[in-house]
Each structure stands twice: as C-alpha cells, then as structure tokens.
A and B are shown apart, each in its own frame.
Chain A
C-alpha cells in the first residue's frame, strides 16, 4: 500500500510541479472556459428569470468542454515525449499511475472552477456561492468526470485521432453525471428542498464509485500493448 501511495503521490507531485511552472494546461482550460461563458452570455441575451434557469446548464457545459481540453493535454504531455512508457516501466501497480493522473486532473478542473465561478456570478448576476451545496455538486461532478475522462484520455492518446476521439468517447459516457450535476446544481440555486435534490446527489455518488472502480479494474488493460 505504501508503494502504491508513494507512486500515486509522485505522479500528482510531478503533474502539479510541471503545471505550476508552465501554466500551459490551466491557462488554456481557463481561457476556453471564460470564452464559453462570454459567448453564452452575449449569444443568448437572456432576461433575469431565463438566466436563472440556464445557469447550471451553461456552467456544466463550460466545465465539460474546458475539462476535455485539459484531459487531452494532460495525457498528450505524457505521450509526446514517450513519458507514458517511462511511467509504465516503473515497478508499481499501474492503477497508482491512473489515480495519480486522475487526482492531478481533478485539481486542475477545481482550480478552473474556482476562477470561473466568481466570473460567472458577476456576468450572469447569480450568486453561485449563496448555496454551499453547489460546491459539493461541483466536487462530485468533477470527480466523476475526471475518473472517466482520465481513463478514456489514456485510451484516446494512443491513437492518431486523439483530439477528436476523446470527446466522441467521453461525452456519451458522462451524460449521467452531467444530467445529475445540472439538476442538483439547479436544485440548490432554486433553493429546492433537499429531498428533491437528494436523488441527483445519490446518482452522482453512485456514478463516482462505479466508474472509479471500473477504471481501477480496466486501466492495466487500457495501457497494455
């Protein structure tokens, strides 16, 4: 177990240290996310009540699009200089590599969310911080998204059409997490009773557990030649 955690920690440290220096991944995700928000803001020209209704949808579409960009880049960095082979050559359980990459990707998405939320609140005149439950939904949704996304990005990066393949593979699989996250976020923003939000939260937790476990079981086969 200690070797597993050591390897996982090393992968997380490596990704964060490299990103802290280059800011390549977070900056591209952030610029993309802000552009999506701006485009929605100007394109839809919604009144106040309509904005409240679309807030959660726009927010999650933004996270998913920006997240796909980040997932692709995160694995492309490994593949382009042969570093994926370097990781696979290490005498560690390969799922430690998966969990390390997934944890680092989760951090990147949460950093982007931490910057996007205040910007969104100002542009759409909606206080996203009024309900702490929204932050819980973002954490659960981002976990499920990165759990599946890291696995599928590892598959896609080994093909020549990786940039196109990842969204094609990923978007259908994350529909349940996207629907649950949108509904739960919307429920919190409309201050619905917890009983009405709970089923969506349960779906998010279940999705996170099932897909994290599935990734744990299949990652070894995904990277095998």
Chain B
C-alpha cells in the first residue's frame, strides 16, 4: 500500500442483499492524478464512487481518503471531497450565487463572497450569477455543479459520468473546466462511457468490470492501438477470467 497515496482502497466488497456489486476491489490514487474509471453499465462504478464519497458504506474492506478512514471519519473525508454526478445537486428556485452561498455555508467556507466570485468566473457563469438555476441549460447547470463541488477547494474531485446529457459544446466547456481544475494540482477520479473525451483528459485509465478493477494503464503506457482497443481487450479478458464470477 503506497504511503503517499491520497486514496487507498483494499479488498472492498459491497453487497445489496444477495447481490454482490463490488468484489474485493483494490484501488490506489496518488495526489494530482486524473483517473478515468471505465466500465460497462452495472459494473459498479457509481456504487464505488458513492462509497468513496461516504454516501454509501462498504460491506467489507478498507477505504482511506486523504488520510481518513471511511466510514468512521466520514465528516473529515467530506471536507476534502467535491462530488459531481449526472444530477446537478442544485436548487432550481435559487440563483447561481445563492446555490453556491448555501453550499459554501454548509462547508464553512471562509471569505465566501470572494470565493463565489472566483468560482463563478472559473465556470464561466459570472454574467448569470443572479439568474435562477431553473432557467439554465443542462450544460450551464453542469458547469455550476462543478462550481458547487469545488466551492470549498477540495483536494479530491469525484465525477460520476459528468458528460451525460450534454451536447458537444457543453462537453467541450466542461472538459476545459476539468482541465483547469486538474492543472491546479487537484486529484480527479471520473467515471465515463465517453472514451474519446477521457482519453484527452485523464492521466490514468482503470477498467472496472464485474465488481473489480481488471486492467489499468497510464497515458504514457497506452497501447499503440489506443484506449478503445485497450478497453475492449480488458472486457474480453475479464469474461474469460475464472475469478470473475457472476
């Protein structure tokens, strides 16, 4: 287990009744890494991110984020995490700045008004700061959702399929924001089905299928035939793996 790792997960098991979603998952992330978590529907990606974000408890195994154990030290972990899902987690009847003000208060952000201005500028919504969120397009809501997730300047950003339902322009803008956030040294773990987009964004690619990480590669070690071929080979290998019980 790497001592310098920001996220350490070992032998993680998650069961919902008789259904085993995660089976002895091992996962380590170093500070500053941008990890793309790839996998088919039902692979357990969302469940895994919900456990990392303390929204769900592991059945078995160890999860440590930023030096704090889950679920025992959940509040300390939450202080260091920002989470973006395919739902915006925003209130439609509040303005953009009111949403950020609310979440900023929940996180106890110091100099909140200055921070709100900074974040709105970063996500390109400063001119719309006093508009109600329900008047925003899906792309604008997702940009504000990133603003909400980084209002407290977290060390780790978890994103669960953030491109879902966005058009090309909105995806491009989202990617620009994510690139800026990652460039500030933040650690990012993102699930996605869009291999073309994550290929340009992430520094590491993990394939999660049948409840565990089956393959991993970095941008430097990427096979010549590209991410899509790597991904398909990983899924095929997992199907023939005797340990990959249904």
Whether the pair B102, A85 counts as a contact (CB closer than 8 A) is no
Given A21-B132, A82-B85, the answer on whether A91 and B90 have CB atoms closer than 8 Å is no
For the complex, is B105 an interface residue (Cβ under 8 Å from A)? yes
Give the distance to chain B from A99, nearest Cβ to Cβ, in Å. Answer: 14
B81 touches A89 (CB 8 A): yes
Determine if A87 and B106 form an interchain contact, defined as CB atoms under 8 angstroms apart: yes
Interface stretch, picked from A7-15, A128-136, A183-191, is A7-15
Which residues on A sit within 8 Å (CB–CB) of B93?
17-19, 21-22, 24
Q: Which residues of B contact A225 (CB under 8 A)?
A: 50, 55-57
Near B by CB (< 8 A), chain A positions 88-147 give 88-93
As a 0/1 sequence over residues 89 to 105 of chain B, the CB contacts with chain A under 8 angstroms (1 = contact) are 11111100010001101
A83 at the A/B interface (Cβ < 8 Å)? yes
Known: A81-B89, A83-B89. A6 touches B55 (CB 8 A): no
Q: State which size class the interface on A falls in.
A: 20 to 34
* Residues in chain A near residue B103, CB distance under 8 A: 86, 90
A77 to B98, CA, bound (A): 16
Assess the B105–A7 pair: CB atoms within 8 A. Answer: yes
Whether B76 pairs with A91 at a CB distance below 8 angstroms is yes
Closest to A77 in B: B91
A62 to B79 CA separation, bound complex (whole angstroms) = 43
Q: Which residues of A (1-39) have their CB < 8 Å from a CB of B?
A: 3, 6-7, 9-10, 13-14, 17-19, 21-22, 24
Contacts of A18 in B (CB 8 A): 91, 93-94
Chain B residues near A24: list those with CB within 8 A. 93
Among B57, B85, B102, point to the contact of A13 (Cβ < 8 A): B102
Q: Which residues does chain B contribute within 8 Å of A81, judged by CB atoms?
A: 87-92
Residue A47, interface by CB 8 Å: no
Given A14-B91, A18-B94, are A90 and B107 also a contact pair (CB < 8 Å)?
yes
Q: How far is the CB of A94 from chain B (nearest CB, A)?
A: 9
Q: Which residue of A lies closest to B88 (CB)?
A: A81
- B-contact 0/1 string along A173-189, CB 8 Å cutoff: 00000000000000000
**Interface of chain B residues 158 through 176 with chain A (CB within 8 A):** none
**Bound state CA distance, A167 and B108, in angstroms?**
36
Chain B residues near A21: list those with CB within 8 A: 93-94, 132
* Closest CB in chain A relative to B129 CB, distance in Å: 15
Q: Is there a chain B Cβ closer than 8 Å to A45's Cβ?
A: no
Q: When chains A and B are docked, how far (Å) is the Cα of A17 from the Cα of B101?
A: 12
User: Residue A195 at the B interface, CB < 8 A?
Assistant: no
Instruction: Provide the residues of chain B in CB contact with A91, threshold 8 Å.
Output: 75-76, 78-79, 107-108
A82 and B79 alpha carbons, distance in the complex (Å): 19
Contact across chains for A10 and B102 when beta carbons are under 8 A apart: yes
How far apart are the CA atoms of A207 and B97 in the complex, in Å?
40
Q: What is the CA–CA distance of A93 and B74 in the complex, to the nearest angstrom?
A: 10
A86/B148 in contact, CB under 8 A: yes
Q: How far is the CB of B79 from chain A (nearest CB, A)?
A: 4
Taking the nearest CB of chain B, how far is it from the CB of A176, in angstroms? 34
Residues of chain A with a CB closer than 8 A to B81's CB: 89
B234 at the interface (CB under 8 A from A): no
List the A side residues contacting B79 at CB < 8 Å. 91
Residues of B within 8 A of A13 (CB): 102, 105
Contact call A7/B106, Cβ cutoff below 8 A: yes
Residue of A82, A86, A92 with most partner-chain B CB within 10 A:
A86
Chain A contacts for B91, CB-based, 8 A:
14, 18, 77, 81, 83
- Given A7-B105, A18-B91; 15 other pairs, CB 8 A cutoff: A3-B108, A10-B106, A14-B91, A14-B102, A19-B93, A85-B85, A86-B90, A86-B103, A89-B54, A89-B83, A90-B103, A91-B75, A91-B107, A224-B57, A225-B57
What are the nearest 3 A-B pairs in CB distance? A82-B87, A86-B89, A90-B106
Q: What is the interface of chain A, defined by CB distance below 8 A to chain B?
A: 3, 6-7, 9-10, 13-14, 17-19, 21-22, 24, 77, 81-83, 85-93, 224-225
Can you name 19 A-B residue pairings with CB atoms under 8 Å? A14-B91, A18-B93, A18-B94, A77-B91, A81-B91, A81-B92, A82-B89, A83-B90, A83-B91, A85-B85, A86-B89, A87-B106, A88-B55, A89-B54, A89-B78, A90-B103, A90-B107, A92-B75, A225-B57
